[in-house]
Structures are given as C-alpha cells and as structure tokens.
C-alpha cells in the first residue's frame, strides 16, 4: 500500500514462524525494517532476537541521560579544552557558570533528558504520541518554572504557547537546531514492534517545538535508527546508515545526504573525520561542532558506529567533538544504550546518575505499554 511519503511503498513479508518484516522502500532503497511478533491471548511472547528488549529500553534512556549528564559541565567548550580534561569519564562534574556558581549538580541531566522524559510521560498517559498533550505538558512545566537549560527554539515556542498561540502554530520555523533530535528516542522505542508509524510520530513530536525541516529530518532519522537497533542483531553498519539517510531524505534532501556522509567519515581516521565533520556544519565553529540538528545526528551516528560495542568509547568520541557536547553524548548514548543494553553501561555512572530510578521506571513502563498496544 502507498504511504504518506512520495514515491514510497510499505512492504510486508511474512515468515513461517509468524514474524513479520515491514520495510519502507523509498525510491528503490530499503529504509527501515523491523521485526514484529504477532501476539494474541493464547500466545506466549517469544523474543526472536534472544535479547531482553525491556533492558534495551532502559539502556537507551539511561545511556542518553548518562551522556547528557557527563557533558553538562563542558557544554559549549572547545574540542581542545575538552581534550585537556583528565579522565573525562571518571565521574560527573558540577556545571558551573562564569561567576563560579553551580548551575547543575554533578550527575544531573540537562534539558535534553528533561524534555525526552516528558515525551515518555505523554506517551504513557495518552497511549500514543499526542502532540497537543506534549505541548500542554511543556507549557505547564514552563509556567511552573521547572524547565532549564533550553535553547532558543524551545524558548521561542514556549513563549508563544504561554501567550495563547495554538501548538500547531507555535513551533520555531527557522532554526535548524537539535532540540527535536535530542528528545526523539522514545518514538523509535514506542514503535519498535512494527516501525510503521515512526515517521508520523517523530514528525508530531518535532513539530511541537521545531518546524524547520532541517531539524525535523534529523529527528526522524534518529527515531528510525533507534527503532531499527531494537530489533537487529548483529549490527549491519550499512543497513543502519541506509535507515538514517533514507528516512531523512523525503523531509529534507540535503540533511539526508549529510547524514549519508557518515559512511565516508567511518573510513577516515578519527582526527580527519572530526575535521571533516567540523567543516560539514552550516555554521562551522573554529574548534567544535555547533548544535545543529543534522550535525547532531552525524556526530552521534559516527561516535556510535565507530565503536558500536563500547559505550565508553562512543561517549568519549561524542564529548570530545567540542561544542554542544551534552546533546551529542545524549543522542549517542541513546543509540549505544539501545543496541547494547544496560550491561555495557558503567555501574558507577548508573549509580551516580541523579533520578536514575525514575528514568529506569519510565523506560520499563514504556516497554510494558508497547506490549498491550493493538499491533
């Protein structure tokens, strides 16, 4: 059947064991395929991947929060300055402003994880991705003064919402920033069973705060990758990058093409790859990478795929990019966490993460909710 995408088909293939592969095919390219298991009241759920999917949910949300909290103290620093930090993964550090005041305690997450968890809470409350509810939740937190560390696009949106502008008209339209991609992982998790609605759900979440196609395309890309990583073992690098690139292209062709360049980055040594990424940005920094949506997707994918079995190596790579490193590490942590689960997350970083139990509980609740949805 035809989907909402131009020149796109949704194909379903069935196997004798009852599993279904649903693939998005865009202009002849396979974009996303995920394995779903048909269940009914008499069936016992059987995980065909021989992995604990619930643990992957926990790994993704905790992994993102860990990366976010580790990068909190050095957000906006240059790559050179960050490389000078001794044992950057040895533990969390306070976030201190120029006056020496502590803005966030060591182990606390920033707006990246804060806004992502609101997405989870909204899905749990509504049983689906509901943009109006998400906007209302952000507005309530805004009016209560509980939101922090947010960027310009989010601030612009919430000011409009606070003035009574409908959510459909409040999102920032001209900022290609990473406020959408940083909170999109729960969408991929929510639709892990079939993957068919990831695009529409990611668009809905993104549009609440970001309407710039560059920001939206990056978010849709990462949502598809997260869903893909839940269900695919062993890792196929080219398949992951096909998913990332060709889910973004229908929304913003240049962003999809930029994400596709991760292939060439992975063929370079780490130093040359970083220099190339720096030059790929719309507004390059002298010694870092800006918080653009597309570049956040590129940095996170490159960091994860360069060391897919090592959470620590992935996070170090993201943190040492320079620039908006808390968000880079948060998204990279979502990817590494969903692929590797909690076993690869360092115990000391989980133990010292503030609100760990809340994050873990929300991740488990989200997974359990997917099992009772209509498939």
In a domain, 209, yes or no: yes
In a domain, 227, yes or no: yes
Tell me how many domains the chain contains: 1
Question: Does position 22 have pLDDT exceeding 60, yes or no?
Answer: no
Range of the domain at 176: 51-372
Query: What's the mean per-residue pLDDT of the chain?
Result: 89
pLDDT digits (tens, 9 = 90+) for 57-105: 999 999 999 999 999 999 999 999 999 999 999 999 999 999 999 999 9
Confidence of residue 50 (pLDDT cuts 50, 70, 90): confident
In a domain, 73, yes or no: yes
Helix axes 293-306, 270-280, angle to 10 degrees: 170
Residue 49's pLDDT is 60
Mean pLDDT calculated for residue range 44-64: 80
Cβ–Cβ < 8 Å for 264, 305: no
In a domain, 230, yes or no: yes
Residue 14's pLDDT is 29
Mean pLDDT calculated for residue range 135-158: 97
Residue 38's pLDDT is 28
Q: The CATH number of the domain where 339 resides is what? A: 1.10.4080.10
DSSP assignment string, 325-365: HHHHHHHHHHHHHHHH-GGGS-HHHHHTSTTHHHHHHHHHH
* Overall pTM surpassing 0.85 (yes/no): yes
Residue 51's pLDDT is 86
């Amino acid at each position: 059947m035809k989907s909402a995408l131009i020149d796109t088909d949704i194909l379903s293939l069935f196997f004798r064991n009852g599993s279904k592969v649903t693939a998005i095919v865009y202009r002849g390219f396979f974009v996303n395929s995920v394995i779903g298991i048909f269940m009914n009241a008499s069936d016992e759920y059987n995980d065909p991947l021989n992995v604990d999917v619930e643990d992957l949910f926990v790994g993704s949300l905790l992994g993102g929060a860990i990366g976010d909290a580790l990068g909190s103290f050095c957000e906006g620093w240059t790559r050179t300055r960050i490389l000078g930090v001794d044992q950057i993964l040895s533990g969390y550090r306070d976030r201190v402003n120029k006056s020496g005041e502590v803005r966030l305690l060591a182990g606390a997450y920033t707006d990246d994880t804060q806004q992502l968890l609101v997405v989870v809470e909204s899905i749990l409350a509504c049983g689906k991705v509901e943009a109006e509810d998400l906007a209302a939740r952000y507005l309530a937190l805004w009016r209560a003064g509980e939101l922090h560390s947010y960027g310009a696009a989010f601030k612009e949106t919430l000011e409009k919402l606070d003035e009574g502008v409908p959510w459909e008209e409040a999102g920032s339209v001209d900022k290609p920033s990473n406020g959408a991609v940083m909170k999109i992982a729960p969408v991929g998790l929510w639709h892990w069973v079939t993957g068919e609605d990831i695009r529409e759900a990611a668009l809905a979440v993104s549009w609440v705060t970001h309407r710039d196609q560059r920001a939206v395309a990056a978010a849709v890309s990462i949502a598809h990758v997260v869903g893909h990583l839940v269900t695919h073992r062993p890792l196929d690098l080219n398949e992951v990058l096909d998913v990332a690139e060709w889910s973004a292209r229908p929304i913003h062709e240049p962003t999809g093409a930029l994400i596709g360049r991760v292939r060439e980055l992975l063929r370079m040594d780490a130093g040359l790859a970083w220099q190339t990424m720096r030059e790929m940005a719309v507004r390059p920094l002298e010694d870092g990478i800006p918080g653009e949506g597309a570049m956040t997707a590129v940095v996170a994918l490159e960091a994860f795929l360069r060391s897919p079995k090592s959470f620590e190596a992935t996070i170090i790579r993201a943190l040492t990019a320079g620039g908006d490193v808390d968000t880079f590490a948060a998204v990279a942590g979502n990817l590494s966490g969903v692929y590797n689960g909690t076993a690869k997350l360092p115990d000391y970083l989980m133990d010292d993460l503030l609100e760990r139990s809340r994050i873990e509980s929300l991740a488990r609740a989200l997974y359990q909710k997917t099992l009772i949805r209509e498939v």
